[in-house]
Chains A and B, each alone.
Chain A
Amino acid sequence: MPLAGSEENDALTEHHAHQEKQGFFQRYKGIIILLAVILFVSFFCGFLPFGLPQILTSVGIPAVIRPDIQLPGEALTPTLFTLFGEEVKLTNTFVAVILAYIVLLIAAIVARLGLREVPSGFSHLFELLIEFLYNLSEQVVGAKFARRIFPIAATIFIFLLIANWMHFIPGYDSIGILEHPHVGAGYEVGSWNGILYMKPNPVGAESKPVEEAHPAQPAPEGEASAAEPESACGLGDRCTVVPFARAAATDINVPLGLAVISFVTIQVFGAMSLRWGYLGKFINTNGLARGGMGIMDFGVGLFELILEPVKIISLTFRLLGNIFGGGILLVVVTSLIPFLVPVGLYMFELFVGAIQAYVFAMLTLVFSAMAMAGHGGDH
């Protein structure tokens, strides 16, 4: 029987021996990790955003500016024609929508051409996608109407997926036309082997508002001053960039149009399924006839009538807020820390773009299913 205490001694000597056998790194692992974290943070949050752009611009390599962000789509051409009293111009979000259509059409044609006994890889990918969407619509709406509602929901999903993911092609939000700035002071334009780029303001420099650079002209003749084309902004001026293409869903018209399509789909499917009973869901005359609690059912029905157009608003702003907010986030964080951090943000925005597409299609299906059900289901 070993002596009492000798076990501890053995353990202690073992521990010392183990420690001596460990290398330098193992023994001071905690402190080394702490030092590494401090270095990492001071590099990425101190040197990179504030020190590196200075160094790069003094050498001649441009750093990243924060461009002017506008909520409405920006016009690329002067007025093309006038429709119903509104001037129609080509906007950069419209260009993005057209590009998304072209990509979608090409993808559809290539997938169709690849359909054989054993489909090609690309067609197989589309088969997976279609199967996933069809199962989803069957599961939500029921087998009877799945076949009819599936094209609408699938088109919304695939179009939004492509339009949201095309936002990450280099050139969106960054390459465009130089124009005189309307808001703020703009950035100085430099040239590098013939390619024009924007130079960032040195840290701490005051940027004067545009009022002082271009004094506001009094407009006695309203039409004359509006019709005058703006002089082009070029090398040496302070300009701002109007991108050739922006993410399609950042213009409010794209989510609004899709939301109106969803709304019409919901109403049509509710009416197809319940016929006149669908109107009876909102104007609940049966409840009135019953009296008592039925009066409250009538009120609830009227309230649900008001809630229907709210679906358009909520669908629109969910998509717009997510995609536009994500775009602002990317642009601003890239202008602050141009290295490594935007990669994580791009991954996040990829995820958000896919989820928002899925959610839009899913909500169309779910609202249609709710419209096709009877009065709340428990009558």
Chain B
Amino acid sequence: MRAEIRLRVNGAEIAVPAGTTVAAAMVIAGQVCRRSVAGEARGPLCGMGICYECRATINGSAHCRSCQIVCEPGMDVRTDG
């Protein structure tokens, strides 16, 4: 079993295995990654940093491509979903 990483997604603490990306953590947490300009719920599409659908605010830094960023202990992830 890989070590667990604890982070917060929209204020709620979750634990994920080490090596999990923030995009995967958001889907595990059941959170919508973002709202589109017309207000639709969106989640990851390409999984490889191309589509920008999984962008979220990570540790205060906006528009991070969460599928390219690995979870770190104590990370604060915010979505506009």
Q: Do A and B come from one complex?
A: no
